[in-house]
Chain A
Amino acid sequence: MPEDDLKRPRRLGLLVNPVAGLGGPMGEKGSDAPDIAARAEAAGRAGQAGARAARALAAFRRASEAPILAGPLPPETRAALDGEVETLDLGPTAQGRAETLAAVAAMAERVDLILFAGGDGTARDVAEANRAGLPVIGIPAGVKMHSGVFARSPERAGRIAAEFLAARTPRTDLVEILDIDEEARRAGQLSARIYSVARTPATRGERQNPKAGGGDMLADLDAALAGYVAGMVEETLYILGPGTTMAALKARIGGGTLLGVDLAEGPRITARDLSEDDLLERIPPGRPVRVVLTVVGGQGFVLGRGNQQISARVLERAGRPPIDVVCSAEKLAGLTPPELTIDTGDPALDAQLSGYWPITTGPGRKQVVRVVA
């Protein structure tokens, strides 16, 4: 460990969004409204984020003595730490969202992993301020948690953080940060967008099963993508959805957008970051079309979250084209319940699309998964 000796010990950055989760019990679809804290207080509701962070920290401390650098903490979180924590001084002006942004920016170069408690809104803020590209892991404490950074439980988040800081070679995965589009929601339309991607501790691989040996899911996916590209035909128009898996596919055929919907003609990208209207304009009648997607976020959406540009109208215009989905077997295994979801905004179309879909998981491998509306 000669290199490690020269560096400071690995440190955890800790962040708690005290208003995360407040909207849920109040029947809100998030806690993003500016007056949410005041309304919650009036209703006599206390946030759960502080307590959930305390649970995560208890699990963290059971496995790690790494020092902690924290943003402002609610009392119940502070109590779990016995005072042994360095707190960032953010000045009096930072409040709410600005506080999150300032804390994350101040952690750059000073911590090795950010553990935060919140929901998709918090994840988005963390990702936005995280210019240093620090790995991030979320303690689930919000109303919406579509993003891939959230651990399954507060305890798991704490444990994963401890293991990550202790690992000789810490490994990360790229995951999508999603959030419900608030403007669209106010207009009565449920749609989520991918805002960015973040690195999160890879939870597999470190210690393998004694007998199974463990496959290499990344290599599997990569080979699957190569196989897909090899099968792309000139006459066909491919509508390519967003996400990290899709970005890897796009990179093989000229490079496309990570967060947007792109178009390819045969194995060549011809247009990038298209809106619903752009797509409608570019689908000539009669031309064979295929849609290529990956599973977006942690809740198993294939259509309608993060890729709502590929709308019911687009699918109708394209003559209800075949949809190819690429996703790792590991991600499919993590789905509870074990099914995928679609929400094109057109219930009749959703009902027609529902059923058993073969999802490409590797080279020469497909897994059949039930898709429900």
Chain B
Amino acid sequence: MTAPIAKRSKAQFEGYRAARWPEPVVTQMGCPGRRGVVFEEAPTPELPKGAARKTAPALPEITEHDALRHYLHLSQMTLGMMGVSLFGTCTMKYNPRIGERAALKHLADLHPLQHPDTLQGVLELYDNFSDFLCEVSGMDQFVFQAGGGADAAYTHACVTRAYHASRGELEQRDQIITTIQTHPCSPATANTAGFEVITLSLEENGYPSVEQLKSVVGPRTAALMVNNPDDMGIYNPDIKEWVDIVHAAGGLCFYDHANFNGVMTRLRARELGFDACMYMLHKTFGAPKGGGGPAVGAYGCAEHLVPFLPGPLVVKEGARYRLDDDRPESIGRVREFWGNAPQVLKAYAWARAMGAEGLREAADLSVLANNYMDHRLAQVRGVSRSNPGIDAPRMEMTRHSVEQVAAETGCSIFEISMRMTDFGIDALWLSHEPLLVPEPFTPEAGELWSKEDIDYWIDVLEHVIEEAYATPDVVKGAPHNAPIRQLTTALDEPDQWATTWRAYERKHGQRMAAE
């Protein structure tokens, strides 16, 4: 956990200015002849004839110093993860730097194709962490191959397929049931694996009724895939009954445990009856996030699904570890080798440092922080809570709405969010689609953010909403202090936007020539 930035005050609102360097893109920089390090005898690479290019690439010629300075400036103009980030559903945590050092020191020189005898340390780590998560979830085996939460959901969809195929029921069981508030990766991966998706709608209590579930469960049910609590922060207390209903019909139950932070050590997926679950190491377990790439969705299951897990599995024999890839019922791979091992190591280090007591304290803090926020946000002009009529306690996050502010000032949640970046707040997480709550935002403080940070965040929101009433143009024109200004065109205009320099030249060449 980090130390708070103490003594923030409203008087400092006006003081924030993000770095804004008036530099062109690197391809427009430089002059012929400028160089970095020049080697006297640079070896010519030996390439097959066809692979060597005939003309030199059009690269900018700049000095090493220019290049370093330019990229340092760009890093200062990064748009997120630098201010207070209460980006809901993402459980923003500090990623201890020691994890980076440890991964570098212990993994940089290893390769997964080495002989397992020379990989005993990392195999032990995988096995220990699987045991740790089995303790946390009640499951029997974890695998770390999936490259993110969605990949772990996909793993489950594939395991479901293999499980029912092994029982000769796959053709009959072609439906997966989920809820409208479950993360979209569950229906998406179920579809990808070939299942029809049946999505349940929310009802009066903020979750679908048992009756609604019963109306669709039957001989076609292959699995239930849900998260709980959902990202409005409401815990479905009928969940055990849900699992019983689906099991009675012969379906499997998967718990998307990405929203685990508020219930760590308070419940075990297996004890609720679930056959499998998933944790996101890059959310709950303190490893860095990475754009759907270097992340880990840790997938765990009970004994009856272990034969179907992706391989290889780490197996302990006596005091030794080996990789078991001879598993005829396995679904194969969902990712290369053993997934993102550095992330697994960082998360393991984090988890061991926290221990059971640390996890419990973090869970309680995240629920406490959210309820504190909820209490303060209730007093902010024009802000309302989703499901206002439901008094169920909210867990580690709550969805709110500025519908009233938007109606009275014309300032939408997008504009309010952009204006907040003018005060060193990272843009808000709004909601998954489709939007059930109009003008939504979903902050999540987790255990990381100090009371000072949370107060500052709410102070800024309060300030921006006051601005929306007093000087709406200031909000609508935001950001003013951020590295860049508002976009004036939609991002999906193919004739306007280019993702490479070459495409840019092609699309804007005429205009550039005219200038």
Contact = CB atoms under 8 A, between A and B. Distances in A.
A96 interface: no
Given A209-B430, A212-B432, A215-B433, A368 B212 contact: yes
Contacts of B196: 364-366
Interface in A12-36: none
Nearest to B440: A209
Contact of B431 (A62, A207, A209): A209
B493 interface: yes
B216 A356 contact: yes
A45 interface: no
A172 to B, nearest CB: 15
Given A168-B490, A368-B216, A210 B201 contact: no
A369 B191 contact: no
Interface string B407-429: 11110101000000000000101
A99 interface: no
Contact of A155 (B198, B406, B430, B433): B406
Contacts of B202: 338
B32 interface: no
B500 interface: no
Interface stretch (A81-89, A306-314, A325-333): A325-333
A155 B200 contact: no
B197 A368 contact: no
Interface in B81-97: 89-90
B41 interface: no
B508 to A, nearest CB: 13
B23 interface: no
A222 to B, nearest CB: 16
B199 A368 contact: yes
A212 B216 CA distance: 27
A169 B197 contact: no
Interface in B57-113: 89-90
A91 B429 CA distance: 54
Nearest to A152: B438
Interface residues of B, number: 46
A63 B412 CA distance: 11
B195 interface: yes
Contact of B490 (A155, A156, A169, A209): A169
B489 interface: yes
A367 B432 contact: no
A368 B198 contact: yes
Main secondary structure of the interface of B (DSSP, over half): loop
A361 B201 CA distance: 13
A131 interface: no
A145 to B, nearest CB: 17
A368 B434 contact: no
A372 B208 CA distance: 16
Contact of A212 (B184, B414, B438): B184
A370 B180 CA distance: 14
A370 B201 contact: yes
B476 interface: yes
A305 interface: no
Nearest to B197: A365
B216 A367 contact: no
Contacts of A361: 199
Contacts of B38: none
A57 to B, nearest CB: 11
A205 B427 CA distance: 19
Nearest to A210: B427
B472 interface: yes
B9 interface: no
A330 B434 contact: yes
B435 interface: yes
Most A-side CB within 10 Å, residue of B187, B429, B433, B492: B433
B187 A168 contact: no
Contacts of B391: none
Contacts of B180: 333, 367
A63 B215 contact: no
B211 interface: yes
Contacts of A211: 89-90, 429, 432
A368 B435 contact: no
B430 A366 contact: no
Interface string A39-68: 000000000000000000001001100000
A358 B198 contact: yes
A64 to B, nearest CB: 10
A214 interface: yes
Interface string B188-225: 00010001111111110000100110011000000000
Nearest to B213: A368
Given A338-B202, A364-B191, A365-B191, A155 B493 contact: no
B315 interface: no
A120 to B, nearest CB: 23
B16 to A, nearest CB: 21
B374 to A, nearest CB: 22
Contacts of A210: 427, 429-430
A150 B69 CA distance: 54
Contact of B433 (A169, A209, A332, A369): A209
B384 to A, nearest CB: 14
B198 A62 contact: no
A283 B219 CA distance: 32
A249 B414 CA distance: 36
A32 B438 CA distance: 33
Nearest to B199: A367
A355 B270 CA distance: 32
A338 B409 CA distance: 27
A366 B199 contact: yes
A155 B187 contact: no
B206 to A, nearest CB: 11
B390 to A, nearest CB: 13
A62 B472 contact: yes
A358 B216 contact: yes
Given A63-B476, A329-B434, A364-B196, A169 B493 contact: yes
Nearest to A60: B410
Given A156-B407, A365-B196, A370-B203, A356 B434 contact: no
B201 A338 contact: yes
Nearest to A211: B429
A62 B475 CA distance: 12
B493 A168 contact: yes
A368 B433 contact: no
A137 B492 CA distance: 24
A341 interface: no
A286 to B, nearest CB: 27
A134 B199 CA distance: 37
Interface in A188-225: 205-212, 214-215
Contacts of A250: none
A360 to B, nearest CB: 10
Nearest to A369: B201
21 contacts: A152-B438, A155-B407, A155-B408, A159-B406, A168-B488, A206-B490, A208-B491, A209-B432, A209-B433, A211-B429, A212-B184, A333-B180, A333-B434, A333-B436, A338-B202, A355-B215, A358-B198, A366-B198, A367-B180, A367-B199, A368-B208
Given A211-B432, A369-B201, 12 more contacts: A62-B409, A62-B473, A62-B476, A155-B410, A158-B410, A168-B488, A210-B427, A210-B429, A210-B430, A330-B434, A365-B187, A366-B198
Which 3 interchain pairs have the tightest Cβ spacing?
A333-B434, A356-B215, A62-B410
Interface of A: 59, 62-63, 152-153, 155-156, 158-159, 167-169, 205-212, 214-215, 329-330, 332-333, 338, 355-356, 358, 361, 363-370
